Amino acid sequence: MPDPARPFGRVLTAMVTPFTEDGSVDLAGAQELAAHLVDRGAHDGLVVNGTTGESPTVSDAEQTTLLEAVLDAVGDRAVVVAGAGTNDTGHSIDKARAAERVGAHGLLVVTPYYNRPTQRGLLAHFGAVADATDLPVMLYDIPPRSQVPIAVDTLVRLAEHPRIVAVKDAKGNLNDVSWTLARTDLAYYSGDDVLNLALLAVGAVGVVSVVGHVVGPRLAELVAAVEAGDLVRARAVNDSLLPVYAGIMGGGQGAMMVKAALHALGLPAGPTRPPLVDATPEEVTQLRRDLVAGGIPL
């Protein structure tokens, strides 16, 4: 049975969608990568079809097939969370139901982007998606992409829904996180790698990471150190990860740079889909320096 305090596990990665050189989804590569992350990368969960999975350019049919492939590969030993959020409530409901039909263990539902709903609109949107299936829901609060933050009072009301159980936070407002944790039983997950330690220190239970593709065991060590109250060890682990954070999240686009990192490690990734572009040779050179500085042998 899942731990109610951390319903999606401790260490999850927002998994890339591997593509072949002709741009089609590489299902075998996705299964290989998922198995690597779970069996050798210390992950107890994966998010499929999230932003790092380039979901805006992956069709609904492709997303369903990809989710099925990952579930077949690791669904018996890891929590597989399906990205289901869009800026259209009806479309989000359709995606949520499709994910439930193929066996997803939970849903990640992002704040609707571009159309800038009010807080009342967010309540209606998230509630409708949560009502549409029996799956537990992780809200994704990321105003740098959505423009609209989920207000604390809105989160308090959403926490009353029996299936809204967690938040992936990329808002960067530790005051809001602290108030929400004080007023709800929502499980918080860090959705911004550079703030992993800070969010864990104020009460987050885990991470949904991008850099986890290449440093999953050290993220597990970070979470364990904070949970044990060993902040000296936690700071040391976090400090060792700073070059990796900088290389993957600091200068370029996350999906682009983590695909370059996976390629350097000989793991499935493939190219990005437009409008994303692949890292340049110069960017790859700097990335490799950062990864080595962060203790990743290449």
Cα distance between residue 60 and residue 67, in whole Å = 10
**Residue 96 confidence class, pLDDT cut points 50, 70, 90:** very high
Share of the chain above pLDDT 90, in %: 94
Residue 1 has pLDDT above 80, yes or no: no
Q: How high is the pLDDT of residue 77?
A: 97
Mean pLDDT of 198-227: 98
Residue of 206 and 5 predicted with greater confidence: 206
Annotated ligand binding at 280? The verdict is: no
Residues annotated as catalytic (active site), given as ranges: 140, 168
On average, the pLDDT of the chain sits at 96
Mean pLDDT of 276-296: 96
Annotated ligand binding at 52? The verdict is: yes
Closest Cα partner for 153 from 115, 122, 193? 122
Mean pLDDT of 6-26: 97
Mean pLDDT of 277-297: 96
Give CATH for domain 11-230: 3.20.20.70
Q: How high is the pLDDT of residue 2?
A: 64
Residue 132 has pLDDT above 70, yes or no: yes
**Residue 252 confidence class, pLDDT cut points 50, 70, 90:** confident
Q: How high is the pLDDT of residue 204?
A: 98
Mean pLDDT of 254-274: 97
Mean pLDDT of 112-116: 94
Domain residue extents for the chain: 11-230
